[in-house]
């Protein structure tokens, strides 16, 4: 039998590293593994090196002829993503590895029962939600910059961006293009007279000398797009955040002029487009795919001779390899309702147990979080010290101003990055618990949320949120639930799986043969 100790270490705190290794060695001995363990150390701060090291461990286990006993401090030390846990789970099922988690006092082996596997799943879920929270925070920072009126997007005709730093591709100031700026103004003014179509306006603008940045004649769609671009009066559009006012783009036209052009455009449009009349279906818009050929399932409304209206769906058969088998929409919805109803059966007890688990687990999150914060603070101080010494060296005239400037900028950049990282960690810690509580409350009310949506589009959005890979197999709908709803569902089914005092997750796709 081979023994591996896997420790997550930080470069800043050697004492705690060796304490962790000692603790795990003692733990292994107490479980009867006295032989010399192989020790792998994974650094907290480097995710790339971390993945490579984990891969090494996985390869070692795969190649080993004997079963490997793996000792880990806590679940989130081993894995921060479901991808890894799937690999470890396969090795466990094959009997190639057994895992001992010290903190959770959890032993996973080939014949582990569902209760233990659920604890593993929960641990992974908590670790993952922390990481997701971090990436959410990066998005939020961009949102913040948008709120402060910074425009990042591409510049339309009429503006020039002055690069502040060519290498880093940072854009500095945005200026009005001295050659095209006034032509854009002219274009709006001409269109506002109502005497031009897009085509005649294009001809006129070409006559006046308008060319693209590549010095080509502007095509019709450029003229059309320009007249619709609200950036010219200082309003940027963001798909995710809606319109927002920008500070760093000089105005070329007034909002009033823009609005007049829009009015003219609407008057010129004769009939409302067909797209607006398209009927929406709950399971439409590519939500369901055909299992056999991968094409979307499309829906249509039919009327019986009796006047009764019904909805049917079938594979679009775009690849020509399926046959169209029409299924009533209700038959697809039935298994979905079944699952939504099951969510509502979560008892108060299970809910409380889950919440208690979340709270307990957060202790180890907080510790991980604290390690990160300490690392960042220490790096920050180190760089600040270096910067101070650099200044001394410059004042002593032992280095030139050029060298000082260059180095100083490098340090300043690093400090800035560390600051952002620190803020992200701070935010992530305070919010990830809330995320999990939300999951529970959404699950519990799933059926009433779904029924409460009045539009098919809203219902579809909700299903997209909780269903994973819904496919149609012949006439049957098959699906699993998105994590962590899959877990909540499993607990609703068997409340006893949850340990009253344990703590901790792996991905289980929920395909219940009874409901497909
Ligand atoms: Zn098909």
The Å distance, Cα 325 to ligand 1 centre, comes to: 9
Residue 101 is inside which H or E element, if any?
A: strand 97-101
- Residue 14, classified by CB atoms within 10 Å of its CB into exposed (0-12), middle (13-18) or buried (19+), is exposed
Residue 173 is inside which H or E element, if any?
A: strand 170-176
User: How confident is the model at residue 48, as a pLDDT?
Assistant: 63
In the structure, what pLDDT confidence band is assigned to residue 250 with cuts at 50, 70 and 90?
very high
The Å distance, Cα 279 to ligand 1 centre, comes to: 22
Is 70 exceeded by the pLDDT of residue 266? yes
Taking residues 418-438, what's their average pLDDT? 62
Is 70 exceeded by the pLDDT of residue 498? no
Residue linked to tokens 């080939």: 110
Sign of CA pseudo-dihedral 494, 497, 501, 503 = negative
The Å distance, Cα 411 to ligand 1 centre, comes to: 58
The Å distance, Cα 27 to ligand 1 centre, comes to: 54
Is 50 exceeded by the pLDDT of residue 502? no
Q: How far is the C-alpha of 440 from the C-alpha of 498, rounded, in Å?
A: 15
The Å distance, Cα 476 to ligand 1 centre, comes to: 13
The Å distance, Cα 471 to ligand 1 centre, comes to: 10
The Å distance, Cα 337 to ligand 1 centre, comes to: 24
The Å distance, Cα 234 to ligand 1 centre, comes to: 48
Is 50 exceeded by the pLDDT of residue 156? yes
Residue that wins the pLDDT comparison between 140 and 459 = 459
Residue that wins the pLDDT comparison between 332 and 168 = 332
The Å distance, Cα 469 to ligand 1 centre, comes to: 15
Domain range list for the chain: 2-112, 159-268, 348-497
Supply 206's token pair. 């070409």
Is 50 exceeded by the pLDDT of residue 252? yes
The Å distance, Cα 477 to ligand 1 centre, comes to: 13
Residue 491 is inside which H or E element, if any?
A: helix 485-493
Supply 402's token pair. 């050029």
Which of the residue ranges 14-23, 451-460, 495-504 would you say has the lowest mean pLDDT?
Answer: 495-504
The per-residue pLDDT for range 127-137, each reduced to its tens digit, is 666 656 665 66
The Å distance, Cα 293 to ligand 1 centre, comes to: 4
The per-residue pLDDT for range 358-407, each reduced to its tens digit, is 666 555 556 666 777 777 788 888 888 888 888 888 888 888 878 888 88
Looking only at the bridges linking them, the beta strands covering 170-176 and 159-165 are: antiparallel
The Å distance, Cα 309 to ligand 1 centre, comes to: 25
The per-residue pLDDT for range 46-101, each reduced to its tens digit, is 556 667 778 888 899 999 999 999 998 877 666 655 456 678 888 998 999 999 98
- Looking at domain 159-268, its CATH architecture is Alpha-Beta Complex (3.90)
Count CB-CB contacts under 10 A for residue 421: 18
The Å distance, Cα 316 to ligand 1 centre, comes to: 7
User: How confident is the model at residue 112, as a pLDDT?
Assistant: 85
Taking residues 476-503, what's their average pLDDT? 71
Is 80 exceeded by the pLDDT of residue 288? yes
CATH 1.20.1050.10 fits 2-112, yes or no: no
């Amino acid at each position: 039998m081979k023994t591996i100790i896997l420790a997550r270490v930080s470069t800043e705190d050697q004492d705690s590293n060796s304490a962790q290794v000692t603790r795990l060695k003692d733990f292994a001995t107490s479980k009867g593994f006295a032989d010399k363990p192989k020790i792998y150390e994974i650094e907290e701060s480097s995710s790339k090196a971390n993945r490579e090291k984990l891969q090494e461990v996985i390869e070692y286990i795969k190649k080993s002829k004997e079963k490997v006993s793996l000792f880990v401090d806590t679940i989130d030390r081993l894995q921060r993503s479901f991808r890894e846990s799937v690999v470890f789970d396969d090795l466990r099922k094959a009997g190639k590895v057994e895992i001992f988690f010290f903190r959770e006092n959890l032993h996973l082996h080939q014949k582990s029962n569902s209760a233990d596997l659920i604890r593993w799943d929960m641990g992974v879920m908590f670790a993952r939600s922390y990481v997701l929270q971090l990436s959410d925070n990066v998005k939020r920072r961009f949102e913040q910059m948008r709120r402060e009126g910074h425009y990042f997007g591409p510049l339309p005709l009429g503006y020039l961006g002055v690069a502040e730093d060519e290498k880093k591709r940072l854009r500095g100031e945005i200026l009005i293009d001295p050659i095209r700026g006034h032509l854009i103004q002219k274009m709006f003014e001409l269109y506002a007279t109502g005497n031009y179509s897009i085509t005649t306006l294009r001809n006129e603008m070409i006559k006046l000398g308008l060319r693209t940045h590549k010095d080509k004649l502007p095509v019709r769609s450029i003229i059309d797009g320009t007249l619709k671009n609200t950036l010219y009066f200082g309003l940027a559009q963001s798909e995710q955040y809606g319109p927002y006012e920008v500070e760093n783009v000089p105005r070329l036209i007034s909002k009033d002029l823009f609005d007049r052009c829009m009015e003219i455009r609407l008057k010129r449009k004769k009939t409302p487009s067909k797209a607006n009349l398209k009927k929406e279906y709950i399971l439409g818009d590519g939500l369901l795919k055909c299992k056999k050929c991968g094409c979307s399932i499309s829906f249509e409304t039919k009327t019986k001779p009796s006047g009764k209206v019904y909805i049917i769906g079938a594979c679009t058969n775009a690849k020509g390899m399926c046959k169209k088998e029409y299924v009533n929409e209700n038959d697809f919805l039935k298994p979905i309702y079944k699952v939504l109803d099951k969510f509502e059966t979560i008892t108060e007890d299970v809910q409380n147990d889950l919440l208690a688990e979340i709270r307990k687990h957060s202790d180890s999150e907080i510790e991980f979080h604290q390690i990160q914060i300490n690392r960042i603070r220490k790096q920050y101080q180190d760089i600040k010290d270096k910067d101070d010494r650099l200044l001394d060296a410059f004042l002593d005239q032992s280095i030139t101003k050029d060298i000082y400037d260059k180095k100083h900028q490098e340090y300043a950049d690093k400090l800035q990055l560390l600051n952002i990282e620190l803020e992200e960690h701070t935010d992530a810690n305070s919010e990830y618990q809330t995320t999990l509580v939300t999951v529970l409350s959404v699950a519990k009310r799933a059926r009433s949320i779904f029924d409460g949506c009045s539009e098919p589009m809203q219902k579809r959005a909700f299903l997209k949120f909780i269903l994973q890979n819904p496919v149609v197999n012949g006439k049957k709908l098959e699906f699993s639930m998105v994590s962590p709803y899959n877990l909540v569902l499993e607990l609703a089914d068997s409340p006893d799986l949850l340990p009253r005092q344990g703590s901790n997750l792996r991905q289980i796709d929920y395909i219940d043969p009874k409901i497909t």
